[in-house]
Amino acid sequence: MNPEPKKDPPVSDYFRKMATAIDHNAAAGFGGAFVIIPPEGGGNPIETLILDEKQDPAQFWIMLQSKCKQQIDIADAAARNQQAGFGRR
């Protein structure tokens, strides 16, 4: 008997999970949060909760930019690998 393939959780679960984490860490200094869910095949979801007593907006935006840049670089590399397929072994 084969087990059923693992299914991704519903998209809304990522947001509920983040809301729970924000509530759980309320006393720690909320520095921002983001949940990014790309369309199917577009990469992994990004879930980040920043705990920062200083509540520095620059830290939030730099973190968001960095996480997005990582995913863009991965997507670009995958696209280049697909295009460079001719003559490769």
53-75 pLDDT tens trace: 888 999 999 999 999 999 999 98
CA distances (Å), origin 74, targets 2, 20, 64, 86: 32, 29, 16, 21
* 3-class state of residue 30 by DSSP: strand
pLDDT band at 43 (very low <50, low <70, confident <90, very high): confident
Q: What percent of the chain has pLDDT over 90?
A: 60
Which amino acid does the sequence have at 54?
A: K
- Measuring CA to CA, how many Å separate 26 from each of 10, 15, 21? 25, 16, 8
- Note if the pTM is more than 0.85: no
CA dist list (Å): 25 to 12, 29, 30, 54: 20, 8, 8, 15
What sign has the CA pseudo-torsion 18, 49, 42, 82? negative
